[in-house]
Amino acid sequence: MIDTHCHINFDSYDEDRQAVIERAAEAGVDRIIIPAVDLETSQQGIELSQQYTGIYCAVGVHPNSTSTFAESDIDALRELAQSEKVVAIGEIGLDYYWDKSPKDKQKQAFEAQLELAAALSLPVIIHNREASEDVMDILEHWANSLQGPLKERPGILHSFSAPESIAERALASNFYLGFTGPITFKKADDLRSIAAKVPLDKILVETDGPFLTPHPYRGKRNEPAYIPYIVDRLAGLHRLAVEEMAQATTENAERLFALPVSN
């Protein structure tokens, strides 16, 4: 299995990062993708990916980090993306929940990073919080302009939590949808209803660790070893064996992020 979104570089893992990675492997999670939120965490992700065989990373500037975004950031990201284990641009997008960056600034940074992703033929990891319509308007325009293989694998809407209509629009543009701990929450029936309808070849699993810990560990720090709880719930929704869902989501991640195929 592959945890396609875990901030294992964050300081909440500083005291036991090695043990977290070992527990993940014991649980069958042999690869982890670290998303970035700014230039510093982009560099951190690269450094960890160079230390561990099963760790890959993305580079990018999160919408909440865009208040000082400048063209020089694109130049820096382009340079960082040359590292061999960078598999995506992200996490990027729009966040209208937190008032940490003006909407216009967020959109400027979002669109500039989408252009960079297209130029580098890298998929994107999309953050969307209370900005679904604007996110999809921008993504649809971008996806329609893509050429070559990226058009079939443009990216993922990470930790999907938007209405079903947004899921339909994302899928129509070939985006994948990522599901996190909330899929296991007692009151998440609407989210489970959407997840049950997503084509099997478009589903990814992620922790978003250290956040969004699944039941029965909700309230504690999240970690990649908990991916099986998400896989199990998705398997039930799709009426598949757990092993089938694990295999499908692994193959999907390998395809989207152009990862080496597991044996």
| Helix, strand or coil, per DSSP, at residue 28 | coil
- How many domains, the chain? 1
Among 217, 238, 235, smallest CA distance to 226 is for: 217
Residue type, 90: G
Greatest Cα-to-Cα distance within the chain, rounded to the nearest angstrom: 49
Exposed/middle/buried for residue 102 (C-beta within 10 Å: 0-12, 13-18, 19+):
exposed
pLDDT at 263: 67
For 38-78, what is each residue's pLDDT tens digit? 999 999 999 999 999 999 999 999 999 999 999 999 999 99
User: Which SS3 state, helix, strand or coil, does residue 64 take?
Assistant: helix
What CATH number corresponds to the domain at position 79?
A: 3.20.20.140
Q: Which domain holds residue 107?
A: 2-257
Residue-wise pLDDT tens digits, 239-258: 999 999 999 999 999 999 99
Helices within the chain (DSSP H only): 17-26, 39-51, 71-80, 103-120, 132-145, 164-172, 189-197, 227-237, 242-257
What pLDDT sits at residue 218? 94
In a domain, 263, yes or no: no
Q: Is residue 71 part of a domain?
A: yes
Q: What percent of the chain has pLDDT over 90?
A: 98
Residue 15 falls within a domain, yes or no? yes
Residue 16 domain flag: yes
The model's pLDDT over 21-42, given as tens digits with 9 standing for 90+, comes to 999 999 999 999 999 999 999 9
Q: Is residue 197 in some structural domain?
A: yes
Which of helix, strand or coil describes residue 263?
Answer: coil
Q: What is the pLDDT of residue 186?
A: 94
Residues 60, 33: contact at Cβ < 8 Å? no
Domain assignment of residue 78, yes or no: yes
Q: Can you give the pLDDT at residue 262?
A: 81
pLDDT of residue 99: 86
pLDDT tens-digit readout, 107-140: 999 999 999 999 999 999 999 999 999 999 999 9
- Position 262 in a domain: no
Q: Give yes or no for a contact between 1 and 24, defined as CB atoms under 8 angstroms apart.
A: no
Residue 162 lies in a domain: yes
- How would you write 128-193 as a 3-class SS string? EECCHHHHHHHHHHHHHHCCHHHHHCCEEECCCCCCHHHHHHHHHCCCEEEECHHHHCCCCHHHHH
